Structure 1
Amino acid sequence: MSEQNNNKLSDEFVKIEQKWKPMPIEKSIQMYSEWSEKYDSDMDVWQYDSPQGTATRFTELNLPKESKILDCGAGTGLLSHFLKPFGYTNIDALDGCEKMLEKAKKKDLYRNYFISFVGPDITLPMEEATYDAIVMCGIFTPGHFPIAYGTFVQLLRVIKKGGILSWGMADPEHYAEVDPSYANKNFENLIKKLVEDKVFEIVDGHPKELPTVQPKKRFFYAVRKL
């Protein structure tokens, strides 16, 4: 990539990342509702390749192709767009913004659609132990899923025992100055606590770095429900 193109990418990166800040649920819904028409084109300009990298790393887990999967924080379906060519088609979508899911529906990527936010006090609208795996991308970001023990408990409730919870995200320390919940290695310490409490175990070799052209490193996490 030329220096000129790299500078352009960095400028777009800054513009998009200015949106990531702590905010109430209502503000987040408003932001994504207003953004839904341009979201995919903005991600193209930004060369947002984390969904593709997350899909690639997810397939390396070698789960059966018929696995029932929840794309949590699905948005317009960018992640599942890249999962489908790998043969994963038994996928449901969950997102807190109805207008984003309306865009996803036009792509014919999912079996079912659910509208819900995710948080420690929000029971997801699925039965317990429904899914073999959850896969997510860009959801542990300021203004999105709360960094809380209960958030993971709610996600794991709908995963079968032995199932996989996985996600792609930027280095947690990258957000420390923007959102206090990421400061002082809070995210890493939360993962350690969940492991110590035998809520889940980390899949060997994870987290793995995502392949990306973006200025900041990104990682893929995979844990197994105990």
Structure 2
Amino acid sequence: MSDCSRTIADVKTLLQSTWVDRQEPQERRQLYDAWADTYEQDHTLMNYRAPQLAVDFLCEHFSGNPEEALVLDVACGSGWVAKKMAERGFKNFEGVDGSQAMLDLAAKTGLYKDLRLALLGPDPLPAQTGFFDVVMIVGALVAGSAPFSVVRELCIAAKPGGFIYMSRSNHRAALDTKYKEHLERELQLMEEEGLWTPVGIKQVDRYVEWPHQDTNGAEVPQEELVIGATLYLYKKSIR
């Protein structure tokens, strides 16, 4: 299939294949390696607003100097989040992703000082402890992708007083509903343990907003047009 013939249905099929529970790590890596060439094009087709929403929410609360801030971009993909952050003055990025093809795209942005290959869950997060002013993970906290337990590693990588931003789409599947319950319990436990404090938790209606018509002219069902999301921002405790 040529790129120009790709439809919303094709992109949805790709997305759904990333939500498979108990997917073997190598299968997950191969899926994203194969998707890399059209990843941003496909996400543009579905009006994927996650990178912009992430940067806007962070910048509402970040009071430091963005030019000096050290940013860890986890599950960085093609570097889309870093590109949006660079527009707001951030300059110092390190990235981690499970797909080498995605890391190759991220490298082409010229924004990252370092890029590391690691599958979240099977591999430990390859990041220096207590080093980053901002840690970002956008879109990977869903069933079939990063395990919810990775949030502790994000917190460990942040400096005391540093920000940890996380976002996830609110899929309707029962599997993902259960994942969200586990994730939010873990976030609460970490707060009770004194590891961090919540800065803000925000619900958004239009994380993804599909066009009303597919590229082949077919109508997209009304109930499938919009996918919401939850945005989380925490600040690591100073102790």
- Under a length normalisation based on structure 2, what TM-score does the superposition of the two structures give? 0.79
RMSD between superposed Cα atoms in Å: 2.2
SS of 2:125's equivalent in the other structure is coil
The counterpart of 1:86, out of the listed 80, 88, 91, is: 88
SS of 1:108's equivalent in the other structure is coil
Who is 1:147 aligned against? 148
Who is 1:178 aligned against? 175
Report if the CA contact (8 A) 2:96-2:126 is conserved: no
Q: Any idea what the Cα deviations from partners look like across 1:95-145, whole Å, max 9, x if unmatched?
A: 1111101011112121211111223x6432232111111012101012211
The 1-side partners of 2:185 and 2:168 are apart by 16
Who is 1:97 aligned against? 99
Q: Which moved more, 1:12-21 or 1:67-76?
A: 12-21
Who is 2:236 aligned against? 225
CA 1:163–1:208 in 2, change beyond 3 Å: closer, same or farther?
A: farther
The counterpart of 2:183, out of the listed 179, 182, 187, is: 187
How do 1:29-178 and structure 2 match up within 5 A? 29-62=29-62, 63-65=64-66, 66-119=68-121, 122-148=123-149, 151-171=150-170, 174=171, 176-178=173-175
The 1-side partners of 2:11 and 2:100 are apart by 25
Report if the CA contact (8 A) 1:202-1:222 is conserved: yes
The 1-side partners of 2:204 and 2:186 are apart by 20
SS of 1:53's equivalent in the other structure is helix
The 2-side partners of 1:179 and 1:212 are apart by 16
Q: Output the amino acid matched with 2:179.
A: Y
Who is 2:216 aligned against? none
Who is 2:212 aligned against? none
Report if the CA contact (8 A) 1:58-1:135 is conserved: no
Q: Any idea what the Cα deviations from partners look like across 1:70-97, whole Å, max 9, x if unmatched?
A: 1110000111111111001111111111
Report if the CA contact (8 A) 2:46-2:208 is conserved: no
SS of 1:132's equivalent in the other structure is strand
CA 1:222–1:56 in 2, change beyond 3 Å: closer, same or farther?
A: same
Q: Output the amino acid matched with 1:15.
A: T
SS of 1:92's equivalent in the other structure is strand
Q: Any idea what the Cα deviations from partners look like across 1:157-177, whole Å, max 9, x if unmatched?
A: 221111111112113xx3552
- Under a length normalisation based on structure 1, what TM-score does the superposition of the two structures give? 0.84
Who is 1:4 aligned against? none
Report the Cα offset of residue 180 of structure 1.
7.2
Q: Output the amino acid matched with 2:41.
A: S
Q: Which moved more, 1:109-118 or 1:211-220?
A: 211-220
Q: Output the amino acid matched with 2:152.
A: V
Report if the CA contact (8 A) 1:70-1:92 is conserved: yes
More strand by share: 2
User: How many residues are aligned here?
Assistant: 211
Mark the runs of 5 or more structure 1 residues left unpaired by the alignment: 1-7
CA 1:202–1:77 in 2, change beyond 3 Å: closer, same or farther?
A: same
Who is 1:207 aligned against? 202
Report the Cα offset of residue 43 of structure 1.
1.1
CA 1:118–1:97 in 2, change beyond 3 Å: closer, same or farther?
A: same
SS of 1:111's equivalent in the other structure is strand
The 2-side partners of 1:134 and 1:99 are apart by 22
The 1-side partners of 2:35 and 2:100 are apart by 12
Report if the CA contact (8 A) 2:52-2:84 is conserved: yes
Report if the CA contact (8 A) 1:122-1:154 is conserved: no
